[in-house]
Structures are given as structure tokens and as C-alpha cells.
Structure 1
Amino acid sequence: MTVERVVTPSGEVSITGTGYAPVGQMVGVDGSDVSEAVRAEVLSTLVAGTLANDGDLRENNGKWEIVGDPTEVSLIVAARKSKADKATERFTRVAEVPFTSERKRMAIIAKDNTEGGNLTVFAKGAPDVLLSFCSRIAFGNQVRPLTDGDRQDILADVERLSSEAYRTLGEAYRPLETASLAAVPGIRANAAGEVSDIAEQSDVIENDLIWCGMVGIIDPPRTEVRDAVAEAHSAGIRTVMITGDHPLTAARIASDLGIIAKDGKALTGDQLDALTTDEKFDKATSEVSVYARVAPEHKLKIVESLQRQGNIAAMTGDGVNDAPAVKSADIGVAMGITGTEVTKESAKMILADDNFSTIVAAVREGRGIFDNIRKFLRYLLSSNVGEVFTVFGGVILAGVLGITQPESTGVTLPLLATQLLWINLLTDAAPALAMGVDPQNEDVMNRKPRKLTDHMIDRDMWIDIAFIGIIMAAVTLIGMDMHLAGGLFTDRSVDAMGHDAQMVEARTMGFTILVFAQLFNAIASRSHLQSAFVGLFSNKWLWGAIGLSIVLQLLVIYVPFLNGPFGTTPLSPLAWVECICLAAFVLIASEIYKAIMRAIDKELSR
């Protein structure tokens, strides 16, 4: 945050320089020199803003570090740029009425060590609020009564700066003309003349103040925030801005960020208080995305209203007053840098860098992880369903497909137990693990949020699993049938190699087709609707896993001492062509299914 403008009764100046390094100077708005009268008013304004301040600016190894609220530190920086900080050194703080979001102002009482120890009140706060406690105004070195015309001029300046996205803070002071706080008219002191409850007597010191000016603080949004808001919108996430700033400032910043349209308005806390029923309040929160001049209870009511409407509400906060709303939200997010311990304890998540775009990045990452879990489940379940259907179909249709053993009265299984174990423990495992590190799909942030009632495996996914499983079983059994006598797809008879040898060859075919069908399924399972050919080679781990599975399958087929335990035999080049073509039909069928589903979704979205 940077103080760029200071508006006083006699004029307006610019403070050059950006950031928290106290490098800059006071110049006219048009770059001209500043008159002595305006300079004196600016110095008074910055002195008040620096004294009524709990922040600090420190230099550490050539770098400037801020302590406390960035808004307050920006006033200290402006004072140092304008050499107003020298004037603050003669004052010592003796009492304070702290800032609260309800009061929207703070005041301190300081002893002037050069004027016999006389006390002075310095105050800062929201200009429209602080102005109501002022009865006088300082022009140069003169003080006169504050007129209605003066008030209108000041409020007009507030609106002008606010419409330009400046945050405004008013400054005022009041000499108490006594060195004893207990001697101030109206102050209650104990028998020893001590005043310990000054905050409860704020009405005594925060009146008859002298208006000296206000500052315009620019807090430009980070360049990545606008993109993050747009990305959140495309993901079906509505961004709501709740602030204590002036409504015009809030609306301008929200407009610059893309939260609302250029002509959008902000709803104030007072306007929220006028909504006396839940129905009216819910209607307002469903339509309005910017709230200004709000109190902590308004934040809580907004969160509860959004939840009543069936929304999942995430609330960010840093101050103690934000804690109730952060705790009530479905996802409470505390600021890791500026957040208080109370807010951090109330939150479910702590934002380490205090950056809104990190929240959107977390949503993207979360969706990617959720997608990968579904990919993992889709791949394993569809592959296992394919194995089950293969065995079940092979047993039921054994006579039709020729999966029989002469002189055997028992059931002849299409695949051996060792083959199924090999598939499940080795060739399945590597691609399944690679699914866990699959890159995010391109459309991950272009989807609507899921409902709380949605299941991990929904109806569409079960249909997908069953469909792929059936295709996988079908191509496996067809491949076996083509190498068996008496099958549906071949007129082959028992030749010189004998029935047992034919069965071994057919099982090797079925075994290999099922393995390769599952590898093609791994490629297809990377997205529910998006084509498998989008980002085909983006997951190097998956291709490594596929390569490993192919090598393992070749070992089982071509290493002689493994042929016996796994019931395999070497395949001819033509047999390999048949295996690959039949297995690839899983990917082809999946692409056709996805294309149909995309067309249906597109039609429904019109």
C-alpha cells in the first residue's frame, strides 16, 4: 500500500515513490511546487496519521520491513518522504482508544515534550465517520469553525478519491491544553488522579476535533489476482468482496478485478441492517458480490446466508473480528502472514503467502487430485470388470467358443489363475500408480463445482466402467476363439499341434490381448470426456509404466522357464497383429463413447 494523495483544506498534493521504501517527495498534483500553506497542512495531516498509528517501519540489511497493518505503515512511509516524521519525535503517547471495525477510527493522546508536556489528541479513521466528530478545520496555521460547506467539500473529495480506487483515511487533532489527563473536562479519574479506562471515555476526547486533511492510499491488486478471479468464475466459483472501505472504493476495485461490472454497486452494512428478514437478506446476497463499510457480524450473516442457499462458502480473514465468519464457513481461510492467531485457530486452511490466487491454485490442485483418484478407480475397476466378464463369459460360452478340454467333465477356464495374478499384481499396478501423478486435464477449471451429495463414482462412471469392461472381455474372448477349433469366428480344426497346444496358444492370445487392452484402457482412463489424444504424452510416468508392463509381458511369453507356470507359448508376428488390433478396440470404443457424451453435454448446455 502507498499513500499517493494528501488532500487538505487548501489543496492537494501527490507523494511520489511506491512501496515501503521511504524514497519520494511531496509535489503538486500536476508536478508543480507546493505552497507553504498547503505544505504546513500536509505535514499536520501526516503527523496526525503517524502518531495515531500502531505500525512500524524497520530497515534490515538494506531492506525495509513492515510491522503491523500495511495501511498504517503506508502513513509512516509518507511522513518520512515528506520529512513530517521529524515533527512526531517530540510527542510521547500516553493513552489510546484503539481502532475497531465498528468504530472505524482510532485516537491517541500524546504528550508534547516541547510545550510543557501539554496533551494533544490525534485521530484517524474513515473520513465520513471522523468528520462527524470534528467541529473545526485547520487552514494553514489558522483554525476556524467547520461549516456545512466544508463538510460537503470534504465528502466530495472522499467520493472523488474513492471512485479512483483510493482508500481514504481522515486525520484530525485536538489540543487538550493541559498536561494532566485527569484534568481534561469530563474525564473520570480515580482517587489517585489516574485514568485507566480511557477507551470507555472515548466520547470525551473524540469530540470537538480539528480536521486537518485526509490521505488517499492506493492498494493496486496483484496482477495475477484478476486472472485468478476470471479462472474462479470459469470454474463456477463466485468471488465475493467484503471490506470496510468506502463503497465507491470497493466498487472500483471489484470492477478492476472483474468481480462486478463497471457500473456495479456495493452494498453497505447499513443497507444490510435494513434487510429485516432472511428472505430479503438471501435475495440480496444472491445478487450482490461487493459489500462495503461492514461490521464483523455482517460477514457472519453473509456467510450464513450463502450457506442457506445451498452454497459451499469459503471465507478469508486475518483479524480477530473475522474469526466467527471464518469458523462458520465451510472452508475458513486465514492469512498466514497478517492473520492473527485467533483467526488461524478458527480456520481450516492457512494461506502461507496471503495471496488470493493461491486459493484458486489450491482449487485447481484439489480438482486435479480428485480427478486422478477417479482415473485410478476408473482404470482399476474397468480392468477388473473386464477380467471378471472374461472369466464369466468364457465359462458360460465355453461350448460356443471352443474353450473345452477333451475327456474333461469339469469347467475349463479361459485364463489360468497365475495369468490373472500376473495381470493384477504386475501389469495393472504400474499404470495404476502412474495415474496418481497424471497432469491436470485442460478442462479442470471449466467445470461446475460438484454437489456435496455427488458420489466419487457416479452413475456415468459406472456405465463407463461396465462398457469398457464388456468391450475388454469381448475382444479377449474373440481373440481366443480365433485360435480354437469349433469357435464362432474360425473354421479352424484340431491340427497336428493338438488340442492342448491350441488351448495354450489361445490362452496366450487371450492373456496378451487382456494385458494390452488394459494398457489401452490406461490411456483412455485419463479423462472421462476429453479425448485421450489431448496431451497424449504429457504423463511420462504412465508411458514408462506401459513400457514396463509390455516388457514384463514379453518375458512371460518368450522366456522358456516362465512358459510352464504361466501357461504361455511364443506368438507369431500375425498373432501379435491380431492382439494389438483387438486390444486397440478398447481405446477406439472409449473415444466413440466420449464423443457421444460430449455431444450430449453440449446439447444439454444450450
Structure 2
Amino acid sequence: MSALSAPGLVIDRPYAQDAAAVERALRTTQGGLSSSDARARRDQVGANELPEPARTPAWRRFLGHFNDTLIYILLGAAAIKAVMGDWLDFWVIMTVAVINAVIGYVQEGRAEKALAGIRGMLSADATARRDGSWTTVAARDLVPGDVVRLAPGDKVPADARLIQVAQLRIDEAALTGESVPSSKQTDAVASDAGIGDRSSMAYSGTIVSAGQGVAIVTATGSATEIGRIQQLVGDAGSLATPLTKQLDAFGKVLTLVILGMAAVMMLIGRYLHQMPFPELISATIGFAVAAIPEGLPALVTITLALGVQQMARRNAITRKLPAVEALGSVTTVCSDKTGTLTRNEMTVRTMITPVRRYEVSGLGYDPDGAIAPGGGGDLSALLAVADLCNDAHLERVFAGAQPEGARTVGWSLIGEPTEGALKVVAMKGGVEGGGTRRLAVVPFDSAHKFMATLDEAGSGSRAILVKGAPDRILERSLTQRGAHGSEPLDIPFWEAAVDALSAEGLRVLAGARKPTRADDLSADDLVDLEFLGLWGILDPPRPEAIDAIADCHAAGIRVKMITGDHAGTAVAISREMGLVTGDDAPVLTGAELERMSQDELAKVVQSVDVYARTSPEHKIRIVRALQSHREVVAMTGDGVNDAPALTRADVGIAMGIKGTEATKEAAEIVLADDNFATIRSAIAEGRRIYDNLRKSVVFLLPTNGAQSLVILAAVLFGFTLPLSPVQVLWVNMVTAVTLSLALAYEPAERGIMARPPRGPGGSLIAGRELGFVGVVSVLIGGATLGVFGISLSLGTDIDVARTEAVAMLAFGQLAYLLNCRFLGRTSLTLDILRGNPVTWWSAGALVALQLVYTYAPFMHALFGSEPLTLVGWALPIGFSVAIFLAVEMLKAVRSRARR
């Protein structure tokens, strides 16, 4: 039984109730529980751990990978081989089917692994008050009503209502996505507050970054916020990718066509030509063997695997093969803000003093930047506060193991992001507090929202330096630092300046100072301060992400920001990044989403590009609303709060550097560099892969189509088969081994990111392309019949004629391969000679194998081939050139018709 259902241990929205009400509801006191009461409650509510999910047996998961129409075709082909007694081919086909199943089995289970990753976030132990004294207990033994103590570095062991805090700040990025630790207090908050605004709560799995706290446990195990997220991951469900849907539809159509044509062929052969039944059965089996593209599943798998390698080079690690192609069909990218669109490195962008406004260049924690215009004493005083009233410091990151002579490649922050930003701007202004000694400090506290230090300069002068919330600093200030020294404080000016910076999406802090001779410092000393100015701080956009968003828009892909940050900041960042334009861009907050039904959300979801203060449920709702419009949705995330939405999205994309393990396990794609620009590159790569996959399928089908038409024509018209079944196998094998994978290496088409995403649904091969495949099949099949007939009419032996027919099929496919390199434009260009060297290696391998087939004596015995004279090669080569030119004419007609 969970804490949600345990009688007498339930409290609704504890963050909105005062501490006394929480104590009464949970039948506890600030003195904690007795050991016997804790044991009784544990028996009632269960252990404080997330439940193991029910698992499908391994054998069922493995067999489930055979439940695919194309695999049915493979198994059908294997059965036919077994009936024909071709056991070698039977085992080859079965091996392909089993390999496909093994690959799928190994790569599946991402939802289960995501749940395991979430369970790993829970704390192992906790400090609880039992029997009137503090003691360390196993976190799994905590129960609602326990009183726990929190200290820096602790992982919060359960959801708990805070009753005492001392400068307590908790890193809740895994739940809320906010980069700055949340300041905590004990006062109740509004009942409709989002999770990021519940300052009176500490949530299981988050980490204490500073201060101390005491709290009453309100929920354990599956009743915690992390437990709810686990449930959301399990309930989210995953969707089939566009490719798997298209392959399934294509396989079903292909199966029906093959069965229908085989039935028609049997009827005509039996009743029109009175063929003997055994001979007719053999011909029908040969037709089916020729028509089934048994290499298609392997072709798809290998093409996607090659795409995985290419994407890995672009810092996108693929955990599931179909996701490679699914990225190419994405219509909407829902992105987290912090660390993906932005650098997750707070930066001072603007400073305002009573004298002027200063703009700061440079990004992140790299002190390479400048302040413009140059300042005087007003700026120096403000920068001195930024440097000295600060507990953060920066360390160089060197390219080599030893700093001596090594190149600096970056900077690492030790401390809080906001203080890091102030430290960096002081370095940019050339202000460093060498020779200054700190004598006392008033640490930051969420109650008073400021920090103060007492510092002594090398000359012996002392000053109190203060930084904090502008309203708190203003109310303690008497004067301001003007161009000519102290002057009266202009409160309306500063209130307007704060509003202006906030409207730009900047986090605003204020600085002040006060000369003193005191030896100690307390909050009571912070009166009659001299106000120095304001800092406007922002987590800056990644410059490459701005370009990537523009490229996505050009490619017809909408980008939506879903963040736990405040609406003003989210809109300001989205405007700077080009996500939205104008001052009236619509934004939906979590509170507004709560009031909307799913149908109401679906009506507006496509027109809103910024979502702020969101929860895990909101992200899933947004994804589902987009999918209701047949959008193919990619969702990015790094915190455990993102795992459910990543599982539900068509393509889940996790951050590899700052992402949690739960998020990585829930995703199909992991970004090695946490950069939105990598998503753009991966989408382009996905489009290239889909183009090449489609080219490969359009190339592969006429091989089977031409062979089956040759056999079909022979049966329908009652003449000698131009190919024996074993020669059909040879052509299938030699083209599969040499030519079929060449197109997987094709570079991207021109303007690949200047065209809109392809429509969802439909078949892998459109009706127009099926017609194209049909015409090419007739061309190659007709040429093969023509070569066979001409050879026989010239008096050659039937085995020689069949050898020429096999050569015709092989070289006809080679010619058609060159046509397929550029399906959207002519191949009569010098580009056909460059860009893909694998084409020419494949062509050379095909020619070499055909020479072995034609002239090696053991091949004569296996396949019934015969040596050809130079004249015997002329017909296949000549017809192949004619096929290439004919297909180019067909492409020109199609292109003109489309225009």
C-alpha cells in the first residue's frame, strides 16, 4: 500500500498548508516518530522505494521481433527454399531473420531501463529524528511523518515539507529544468503553484546545494514526485516510427501482390497452356523466389546501421536503429531551454550605474570579453562588489595534463552560476581583489535575499559590500554613486531600470557598499548604503543554436521551447533565438495548461512556440496534442522530469553531458555535446538516410520485378524459361552482395534542408514510384527476354543463352544503379563520376563475380553457366546502355509532369 492510499497518512498539497497543519494530518511532531510507530507505518505504506515494473519474459520479447510483415516474407522465402530442398539458401535466409530479431532484442527495453535509472536517483540513507534523537536510517525505511535533516551534498530521501531552513538551496534541475538552485523557505505557497514554485517543499532525488533544513516526510516510494514520473514513463507508451509504419504497409501490399500474381500465373498455366501440375508448382515457386525481396530487411538494417555511424561522427549517439530515419521526418522539435538552446552558463549582459548603461560582450565563464563603453569610478565600484562579495571562483581547463605550457581550452566554475557570472564580469573589467582580506560575511538567505561581506583593503580601509535582490538593496540604501561622488538615491530611476532589464528576460541583481571601521558584520549593519548599480544576468543562447533554429525553420520544422523557467525569461530568450518574433508572441504557462482540457490544448498547440513553468505531465500533454495533428515530434531533455515525454515522443533526444541516466535510457538519440545544432545536423543526416534508403529500395525492387516478369512471361506464353531457379538465386545474391548497399553511401542531395518534411504515413514507396519501378522492371525484364530470344535465334546453346540472360540482368541492374544515384535529377552529369566511390568499387566487384560465373568451371557445374565470346557480351552491354538512357528519359518525363 502506498502513502497515497494509506489511511491517516495522506495530506493533499502540503506545500500550501502551514507546518502545524502538516503535523496534524500526518500525526507527528517536530520531535519525530518513535521507532515502533515508524515500523507500524512502514508495514502500512511499504518501503520508500520505487516498485520494479512487471517485465515481459525474455523469450516473448525475442519472438515479438518476428512479428513483422517483411519478416513473414523472409520466413515464407525460407519455407519455399526448404520445400525446394535448397538447404543452404534456407539457412542463409533464416540467419538474416534471426540477426534482425537479435538486433531488435538487444536494443529494446529503453522504458524499463529508464525506470531503473529513476530508481537509481533515490537516496541510500537519511538522517531522521527517531525516539527524540537524530540517527542515520536507511532511506527505504522512511515513512510519512518522519522528521529528516538536510545538509549540503545530501540527496533528499523523500518528498518533505520544510519546517526549518537556514540559507537552504536545493538543486532541482532534474525535476524542473532550472539551472539555478531553488531557495527554500517555510511559508506556505499558493495551492496552484507549479513544482518549480513550491519553495516550502524538498523533493526526493534532488540535491542540497547549500544551507541546512529540517522537514517532515509527506510522501514516500511511488507517491513521491519521482514516483509519479516513473508512472508517467510506464504509461507514456512509445510510438512506431514513420519508417516502421511504412515498411509494414509496404510489406503487406507486396505480399498481396506476390500472392495474387502467383495465383493468376497458376490459373493461366494450368487452364490456358495445360502445363503439368508438378511443373506448374515448380514454376510458381520459382516466381515467388524471384519476386520476394528477401534482402530488403537486411538492406534496411544495414543502411540504418551505416547511418548510426555517420550520426555518431556528428555527436548524435543512436540507441535504436529506426530513430536514425525518424529524425529525418520530424516536423516539430520540442526543446528544453537550459543547456540545449542556451549554454547553461550564466553571463552578465548589461550593467547600469547612475552614470550610464554598460553592455558586456563574451559568453559563459570565459573571461575573454569587454565592457563598453569604458567606465570610471562608478563602474569600478560595482565590479569590486561583483568580485569580492562572492564565494565562487574559476579554474582554467588546460588542453594537456600539465598546466606548464599547456593551452587553456576553457574555464570551470566552482560555485553557483550567478556568482560565477559576477566573477567573470569583474575579470572582464580588470578588477581582481588581490590584497583584499575578508573579515566577516552575512551569507545569502532566502528570507532577506542578499549577501554581504566586510572586506579590508591593503591600505587598511574597510567597507561593507552587498549584493542581492534590487528591492531589498534599495530599501537599505540612502545614496547612490554618481559621476561626482555620492548623490541622493533616485528610486523611480532604479525601479524603471529593473523593469526594463526584467522585460529583456534578464535576472537582475543590485550592488551597494558602505565604508566602515567595524570588526564584525551583521544584517543590522546593512543600512544607509550607497547604491552602486544593477547587473542584468542571462543564460545566453548558443550562437550555433540560433543558426540551427533558422535552418530548421527553412526546412519546414517548427521549434518549440518547453522550459521550467519563468514566462518573461522564456519569451525573451526565444525572441533572441529567432523562435518567435514581435512583442506579442503567445506563451502558455503550466498554470494555464492545468486549466485547459486536452482538446483545448490541441486547438492552440501548433500556434504556441513557448511554454513556461511546465511539469512532466504538461510536456507529455504538449507532445500528445502535437501528435493529434499528425506531427512527428522530437523531444529533448536532460532531467528525470523529461523522461516521460521523451518516451512518448516519436524521437526522444537526451543530453549526454548533463542528462540524467533515466533520461538517456528513455531516449532514442543521445547528444554527446548537449547542443541543439547537433539536432539540426542529425535531422539533415536522417533525411539523407531516408533518401538513400528509398533509393536503395527503388533500386532493389526491379531486380526482383524483372526476374519474376521473365518467369511470368515464360509461363503465360508457354516458352522455355530464360532462367533456372538457381540462376535466379545467383542474380539475387550477386546484386545483393555488390550493388545493393552502394546507395547507402550517397552524400546528401542538394537543398536537403530547404525542403519541407515528408508527410507522415503512407507507404515507403509512393504510387508514382511504384509505377516507375514497374516500368523499369519491364525494361530490364524485356531486355533479358530479348537477349535470350536473340541468342537462341542465332543458334546458340540454351545454356549460353541463359548465361547471356544472367549477364543482362546483372548489367541492367548496374546501369539502373547509376540512374538511382540521382532520382530527382538527371544522371547524365559529371557528378555521376564523383561523390560516392563505393559505387565504382561495387561495379568492379559485380563485373569480377560475373567473370567468375561465366568462366570458372566449378560455376558451370553449380549454375549451368557457359563461357561467352566477345560477341556474347555485346548484347547484354548494349541493352544495358539502352536501359540507362531509357530510364533517364523516363526521369525527365516524370520531372516535367511534377512541374
Match of 1:3 among 348, 354, 357: 348
Q: 1:43 aligns with which of 349, 364, 384?
A: 384
Equivalent position amino acid for 1:595 in 2 = A
Instruction: Indicate whether 1:568 and 2:884 are aligned.
Output: no
Q: Which residue of 2 aligns with 1:312?
A: 632
For structure 1, which runs of at least 5 residues remain unmatched after alignment? 99-104, 125-129, 185-204, 400-411, 486-491
- 1:154 equivalent to 2:449? Answer no
1:445–1:419 Cα change, 3 Å: same
Structure 2 vs 1, CA of residues 295 and 559 (structure 1 numbering), >3 Å: closer, same or farther?
A: closer
Q: Secondary structure at the match of 2:773?
A: helix
Aligned residue number for residue 554 of structure 1: 851
Q: Give the superposition deviation at 1:318.
A: 4.0
Residue 80 of structure 1 is matched in structure 2 by 427
Aligned match of 1:512: 807
Matched letter for residue 441 of structure 1: E
Aligned counterpart in structure 2 of residue 336 of structure 1, from 644, 656, 665 = 656
Checking the alignment, whether the CA contact within 8 Å between 2:554 and 2:753 is kept in structure 1 is yes
Larger Rg: 1
TM-fit CA distance, 1:290? 4.5
Rate the CA distance shift 1:74–1:463 in 2: closer, same or farther, 3 A: same
Question: Does the CA contact (< 8 Å) of 1:476 and 1:514 recur in 2?
Answer: yes
CA distance, structure 1, for counterparts of residue 439 and residue 707 of structure 2:
84
Q: Secondary structure at the match of 2:357?
A: strand
* TM-score between the two structures when normalised by the length of structure 2: 0.50
SS for the counterpart of 1:436 is helix
The alpha carbon displacement at 1:134 in A equals 5.5
Q: Which residue of 2 aligns with 1:469?
A: 777
1:245-264 maps to which residues of 2 (within 5 A)?
254=574, 257-261=577-581, 263=582
State the alpha-carbon separation in 2 of the partners of residues 248 and 554 from structure 1. Answer: 72
1:536 maps to 2:832: yes
Q: Which amino acid aligns with 2:885?
A: I
TM-superposed CA distance for 1:387, in Å, is 1.0
1:374 aligns to 2:694 (yes or no): yes
> Structure 1: which amino acid aligns with 2:412?
I
Equivalences for residues 279-294 of structure 1 within 5 A:
281-290=601-610, 294=613
Structure 2 distance, partners of 1:134, 1:303, is 44
The residue aligned with 1:194 is: none
> Which of 478, 493, 503 pairs up with 2:786?
478
- SS of 2:748's equivalent in the other structure is coil
Which whole-Å CA distance do the structure 2 matches of 1:323 and 1:173 have between them?
43
Tell me which residue corresponds to 2:674: 354
Contact 1:426 1:549 in 2 (8 A): yes
- d(CA) in 1 for partners of 2:366 and 2:865? 77
Supply the distance in 1 between the matched residues of 2:771 and 2:507 (Cα, whole angstroms): 59
SS state of the match for residue 240, structure 1?
strand
CA contact (8 A) 2:441 2:521 kept: no
Shift of 1:110: 6.0
Residue type at the aligned position of 2:677: S
2:508 partner SS: strand
Secondary structure at the aligned position of 2:739 is classed as helix
Contact 2:664-2:670 within 8 A present in 1 as well? yes
CA contact (8 A) 1:173 1:209 kept: yes
Q: Supply the AA of the counterpart residue of 1:515.
A: A
Q: Find the counterpart in structure 1 of residue 413 from structure 2.
A: 67
Letter in 1 for 2:801: A
Aligned positions of 1:588-599 closer than 5 A? 588-599=885-896
Whether the 8 Å contact between 1:557 and 1:568 is mirrored in structure 2 is: yes
The answer for the alignment partner of 1:190 in structure 2 is: none
Structure 1 Cα separation of the partners of residues 807 and 841 of structure 2 = 19
**1:479 offset after TM fit, Å?**
1.8
SS at match of 2:832: coil
For residue 740 of structure 2, the aligned residue among 422, 432, 447 is 432
Moved more, 425-434 or 581-590: 581-590
Is 1:441 the counterpart of 2:749? The answer is yes
Provide the rounded CA distance (Å) in 2 between the counterparts of 1:397 and 1:73: 84
- Contact 1:251–1:265 (CA<8 Å) still a contact in 2? no
For residues 5-59 of structure 1, the C-alpha deviation after alignment (integer angstroms, 9 at most, x for no partner) is: 3212443345577764446776xx443x51x3453244335655x45x6x74445
Offset of residue 359 of structure 1: 0.7
Cα shift at 1:467? 2.8
User: Match of 2:670, as an amino acid?
Assistant: I
Find the partner of 1:582 among 873, 876, 879.
879
| Aligned equivalents of 1:214, 1:244: Cα separation in 2 | 25
User: Which sections of structure 2, spanning at least 5 residues, go unmatched?
Assistant: 1-344, 458-462
Letter in 2 for 1:273: E
Q: Match of 1:432, SS?
A: coil
Letter in 2 for 1:73: G
Change (3 A) 1:121 1:601: farther
> Is contact 2:723-2:805 (8 Å) kept?
yes
1:273 aligns with 592
Asked if the contact 1:427–1:515 (Cα under 8 Å) also holds between the matched residues in 2, the reply is yes
Task: Report the alpha carbon displacement of residue 358 of structure 1 after superposing the two structures with TM.
Answer: 0.9
What's the counterpart of residue 403 of structure 1?
Answer: none
d(CA) in 1 for partners of 2:708, 2:663: 53
Contact preservation (8 Å) 1:383, 1:518: yes
Paired position in structure 2 for 1:135: 475
Distance 1:143 1:351 in 2: 53
Match of residue 526, structure 1, among 802, 817, 821:
821
Across the two proteins, how many residue pairs are aligned to each other? Answer: 528
Check whether the contact 1:45–1:213 (CA below 8 A) recurs between aligned residues.
Answer: no
**Structure 2 CA distance for partners of 1:88 and 1:146, relative to 1, 3 Å:** farther
Q: Distance in 1 between matches of 2:689 and 2:880?
A: 29
Q: Take 1:418 and 1:343, find their aligned partners in 2: how far apart are those partners?
A: 51
1:484–1:231: structure 2 CA closer, same or farther, 3 Å change rule? same
The answer to whether the 8 Å contact 1:427/1:552 transfers is no
Contact 1:7 1:214 in 2 (8 A): yes
Q: Residue 90 of structure 1 aligns with which residue?
A: 438
**Equivalent-residue separation in structure 2 for 1:558 and 1:148 (angstroms):** 97
Q: Cα offset for 1:477?
A: 0.6
Contact 1:10–1:139 (Cα < 8 Å) also in 2? no
Which segment is superposed worse, 358-367 or 581-590? 581-590
Change in 2 beyond 3 A, CA 1:270/1:290 = closer
Residue 477 of structure 1 aligns with an amino acid whose one-letter code is: L
- Opposite residue 8 of structure 1, the aligned amino acid is T
- For residue 740 of structure 2, give the secondary structure of its aligned residue in structure 1: helix
Q: Which residue of 2 is the match for residue 402 of structure 1? A: none
Q: Which residue of 395, 412, 416 maps to 2:715? A: 395
The corresponding residue for 1:170 is 509
Q: Do structure 1's residue 456 and structure 2's residue 764 form an aligned pair? A: yes
Q: Distance in 1 between matches of 2:662 and 2:454?
A: 36
> Contact 1:368–1:444 (CA<8 Å) still a contact in 2?
yes
The alpha-carbon distance between structure 1 residues 342 and 567, as it changes in their structure 2 partners (threshold 3 A), is closer
Residue type matched to 2:352 in 1? V
1:419 pairs with 692, 703, 727, which one?
A: 727
Contact 1:438 1:539 in 2 (8 A): yes
Q: Deviations over 1:101-128 (max 9, x none)?
A: xxxx99465675879xx9998535xxxx
Q: 1:390 is aligned with what amino acid? A: V
SS, match of residue 315 in structure 1: strand
Q: 1:337 to 1:559 in 2, by over 3 A?
A: closer
The answer to whether the 8 Å contact 1:135/1:209 transfers is no
8 Å Cα contact 2:551/2:753 also seen in 1:
yes
Cα displacement string for residues 121-180 of structure 1 (whole angstroms, at most 9, x for unaligned residues)? 8535xxxxx648963556139797774453124323555xx3xxx8453236799x9989
